[in-house]
Amino acid sequence: MSNSLLCVESLSKYFPGLNKPKKVLEDVSFTLSSWDSLAIMGPSGCGKTTLLLIIAGLLQSSRGSITIDGEPINGPTRKIGLVLQEYGLFPWKTVEANILLGARFQKLKIPEKRLSEFKSVLGIEGLDHLYPHQLSGGQRQRVALARALILRPALLLLDEPFAAIDAITRERLQDRLLAVFGHRQFSFIIVTHNIEEAIFLGKRILILNNKACGLCTILENPGVGDLHYRTKPGFFELSTRLRNLLEGLD
């Protein structure tokens, strides 16, 4: 545990209910190392996004502990970046202003070289002066990724980041994410409903169970990182196993 980047222990979350508190997460525990990836899956309402928001320091847990680099997470921290399903871009700011927003808030100077490098890797050059509504869904998502990654977080949290994007663009974005992941030393946790996405991106796959409100299973996924993984037999085997597991939860 000592060399873990993220350590989640016995995490529970209750929301106020009419008669009694509503359980969303119960006794969830897992760890994440440096340069590691984890995909979180589970039926709707099982607390995937809640878990992500707690890790991001945006929601308080009801019980349990959560640390990053051994330090408890009590609020948003520079070590953790967040990309949301609806991108969370500010419509009134240009692409460049959106990307540099975190740096501006934190009074950081981003070297021009790093900025250009990110734009190039994510394929968003030449969009600087456009506004988010002038971009396609895929471009918006890449801008959101650039905005989070430019601050060099140790951990990137992605909440269904490619959910609203067509299948081909989604696969391209997954490839780009892996390409950035290959160059940069960061870990990521991705919440997704898409079985193929979870297998392609997560070194481990955590399945949350909404009946038990807690951790159900962690699947190891050794094939991850290979850009041709989607066509390998191991991919299909894991896909079938995962599908069966998820059907059992519904």
Interface residues with other proteins (CB under 8 A)? 53, 56-58, 76, 78, 80-82, 84-93, 101-102, 105-106, 131, 133-134, 147-148, 151
Whichever of 134 and 136 has its CB closer to other proteins, that residue is 134
CA distances from 6 to 53, 78, 127, 142 (A): 14, 14, 34, 25
Q: Choose among 4, 73, 66, 62: nearest CA to 29.
A: 66
Whichever of 133 and 228 has its CB closer to other proteins, that residue is 133
Q: Choose among 229, 210, 206, 232: nearest CA to 219.
A: 206
Whichever of 82 and 195 has its CB closer to other proteins, that residue is 82
Whichever of 76 and 248 has its CB closer to other proteins, that residue is 76
Query: At its nearest, how many Å lie between other proteins and the CB of residue 97?
Result: 9
Residue type, 37: S
Query: At its nearest, how many Å lie between other proteins and the CB of residue 92?
Result: 4
Query: At its nearest, how many Å lie between other proteins and the CB of residue 103?
Result: 9
CA distances from 232 to 37, 75, 192, 229 (A): 20, 41, 21, 5
Strands 71-72 and 187-191: unpaired
Query: At its nearest, how many Å lie between other proteins and the CB of residue 91?
Result: 6
Which residues, in sequence order, are CB contacts of 111 under 8 Å at separation 6+? none
